């Protein structure tokens, strides 16, 4: 066998590829499900915290800032492992999927709270004053006047951050979630051939390339002209 | 003439920002259909006074009633009361993500609870009053400064306020756009709107104001009909200020 043959046999072995493709495809859908759960709950929680922060209740804001900084400081893998192996010790068992979901959602919550908050504070004071002077309540002003502008302003950084954190779904492989990377690694250890990893990489490209393109499009689309 | 109760009655208004004493006991009465002009040097508290009238600022002490409603009472529904006080800002403050129509209709829907159709019909009528009915579908970014300010006026008058407050409505405008906004204000006045105007447009004051109030250092120094205040100011501060304005 020449070096090239060996390389092709290792990474592009057709027999192995055919055998493990279904597992990788399962992993693909699982990754999408996990990503979807993370994005939905993470962004919702981040927005909720930013809104809560805008109420300006001092002790509440200190707590929010502490939580946000904590989850921005901790490596996501540490949070996943801590939840997965730590919670059972405290009598609460948690699935690998749930611990990955919860961990990455918390991280996305923390980062998106900061981004939403930056957007809210970037809306000029005059917008609040104009709205309140017409009798709109605080909540109505926030909902109809401030948040639409704030969210629009932060779509580009939010998209980038969301993509980055969503790629962290690969970390779930550590806690035995058969998402793309997990399925690929399992394939490698059963077949003694790294081809499943090639498939995994391809699956990530198929999954994230459109997302990155979408992000780029959103960025230009939402470039804010006043 | 029968004595009608004043639309705005502010007494002994004090306002502190931290250690800064900005309003030092200001009284302001505005009768129905009256146009009161407020002038004074920068930092004298004109904007702060206006903003106290609809409680965008909380006065430190004093009393304010608008159309008989105690604006400072804890039991007053401030959001209901604010609909009686229209406000127009120097920087327009239109909502950039909404069309002109959307800007005007928002409070009609969300504060007055009107249906979308009714709110938009009223919004169109308000835009028509400032001659911008044909711009209803434009976003603020697509309008000139003068048009934006007229939309802001429409947004306020659509709620049928009892008094309109203007804080330097033309200061941010290019000179050629000032006329359109002043014309809209004059039409409002002719329709009988009660108005308090902070502005440096002395020509407009002379032509349209019933009374001019001169403020300095957080106090009303003197007030009177424009002919009197501009023609024969009694106080040295007033004379100095008017002299400065004229040199510009
Ligand atoms: N939110 C605030 N916090 C602290 N100080 C303030 C605040 N708003 C106004 N001031 C101060 O109060 C004083 C009066 O301000 P105000 O805006 O009422 O003056 P003005 O007469 O409207 O001046 P101008 O002609 O420049 O608009 C100024 O010294 C200003 O710096
Ligand atoms: Mg001012």
CATH number of the domain within which A176 lies? 1.10.3720.10
Tell me what ipTM this predicted complex has. 0.93
Across the range B83-98, mean pLDDT stands at 96
Instruction: Give the closest ligand to the alpha carbon of residue B200.
Output: 1
Q: Quick one: residue A224, left, alpha or beta (phi over 0 = left, psi -120 to 50 = alpha)?
A: beta
* Residues on chain A bordering chain B, Cβ-to-Cβ distance under 8 angstroms: 124, 126-127, 129-137, 140, 144-145, 148-149, 152, 225-226
CA distances from A137 to A121, A187, B81, B116, B170 (A): 18, 58, 12, 19, 28
Question: Model confidence over A142-179: pLDDT tens digits?
Answer: 999 999 999 999 988 998 899 998 889 999 988 888 88
Question: Model confidence over B104-133: pLDDT tens digits?
Answer: 999 999 999 999 999 999 999 999 999 999
Give the pLDDT band (50/70/90) at residue A33.
Answer: very high
3-state SS, residue B198: strand
Give the whole-angstrom CA distance, residue B99 versus residue B139.
Answer: 4
| pLDDT at residue A226 in the model | 42
Q: Which helix (H) or strand (E) holds B111?
A: none
Nearest CA residue ID for atom 10, ligand 1? B17
Query: Considering only alpha carbons, which residue of chain B is nearest residue A128?
Result: B93
Instruction: Give the domain ranges of chain B.
Output: 8-84+161-247, 95-160
Question: Model confidence over B30-84: pLDDT tens digits?
Answer: 999 999 999 999 999 999 999 999 999 999 999 999 999 999 999 999 999 999 9
Is A129–B93 a contact, with Cβ atoms under 8 angstroms apart? yes
Question: Model confidence over B150-200: pLDDT tens digits?
Answer: 999 999 999 999 999 999 999 999 999 999 999 999 999 999 999 999 999
For the domain B8-84+161-247, what is the CATH code? 3.40.50.300
Say how many Å lie between the CA of residue B213 and the centre of ligand 2: 14
Report the predicted TM-score, pTM, of the whole model to 2 decimal places.
0.90
Domain range holding A205?
A: 3-222
Q: What six digits make up the tokens of A76?
A: 């996501």
**Ligand 1 pocket by Cβ (under 6 Å):** B 17, 20, 22, 40, 42-48
User: How far A50 CA lies from chain B's nearest CA (Å)?
Assistant: 21
Is B85–A133 a contact, with Cβ atoms under 8 angstroms apart? yes
Q: How many residues appear in chain A?
A: 226
* Number of structural domains chain A divides into: 1
Is B106–A152 a contact, with Cβ atoms under 8 angstroms apart? no
Give the pLDDT band (50/70/90) at residue B248.
Answer: low
């Amino acid at each position: 066998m020449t070096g090239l043959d060996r390389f092709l046999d290792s990474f592009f072995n057709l027999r192995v590829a055919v055998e493990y493709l279904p597992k990788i495809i399962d992993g693909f859908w699982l990754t999408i499900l996990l990503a979807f759960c993370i994005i939905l709950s993470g962004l919702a929680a981040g927005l909720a915290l930013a809104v809560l922060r805008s109420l300006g209740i001092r002790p509440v804001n200190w707590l929010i800032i502490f939580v946000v900084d904590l989850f921005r400081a901790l490596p996501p893998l540490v949070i996943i492992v801590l939840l997965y192996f730590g919670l059972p010790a405290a009598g609460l068992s948690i699935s690998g999927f749930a611990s990955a979901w919860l961990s990455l959602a918390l991280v996305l919550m923390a980062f998106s709270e900061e981004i939403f908050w930056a957007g809210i504070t970037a809306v000029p004071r005059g917008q609040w004053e104009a709205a309140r002077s017409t009798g709109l309540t605080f909540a109505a002003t926030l909902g109809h006047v401030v948040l639409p502008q704030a969210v629009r302003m932060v779509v580009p950084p939010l998209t980038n951050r969301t993509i980055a954190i969503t790629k962290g779904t690969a970390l779930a492989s550590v806690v035995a979630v058969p998402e793309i990377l997990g399925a690929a690694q399992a394939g490698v250890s059963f077949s003694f051939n790294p081809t499943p990893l090639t498939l995994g990489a391809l699956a990530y490209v198929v999954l994230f390339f459109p997302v990155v393109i979408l992000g780029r499009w959103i960025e230009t689309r939402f470039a804010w002209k006043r | 003439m029968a004595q009608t109760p004043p639309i705005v009655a502010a007494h002994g208004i004090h306002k502190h920002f931290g250690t800064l004493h900005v309003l030092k006991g200001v009284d302001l009465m505005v009768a129905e259909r009256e146009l009161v002009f407020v002038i004074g040097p920068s930092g004298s508290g004109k904007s702060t006074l206006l903003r106290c009238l609809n409680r965008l600022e909380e006065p430190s002490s004093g009393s304010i009633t608008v159309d008989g409603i105690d604006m400072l009472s804890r039991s007053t529904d401030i959001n209901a009361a604010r609909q009686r006080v229209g406000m127009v800002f120097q920087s327009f403050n239109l909502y950039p993500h909404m069309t002109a129509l959307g800007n005007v209709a928002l409070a009609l829907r969300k504060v007055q609870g009107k249906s979308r159709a009714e709110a938009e019909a009223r919004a169109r009528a308000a835009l028509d009053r400032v001659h911008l009915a044909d711009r209803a579908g434009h976003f603020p970014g697509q309008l000139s400064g003068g048009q934006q300010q007229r939309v802001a006026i429409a947004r306020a008058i659509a709620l049928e306020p009892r008094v309109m407050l203007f804080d330097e409505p033309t200061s941010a405008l290019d000179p050629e756009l000032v006329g359109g906004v002043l014309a809209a204000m004059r039409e409002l006045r002719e329709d009988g709107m009660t108005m308090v105007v902070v502005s440096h447009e002395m020509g407009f004051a002379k032509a349209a104001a019933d009374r001019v109030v001169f403020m300095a250092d957080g106090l009303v120094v003197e007030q009177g009909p424009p002919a009197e205040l501009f023609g024969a100011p009694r106080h040295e501060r007033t004379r100095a200020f008017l002299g400065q304005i004229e040199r510009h």
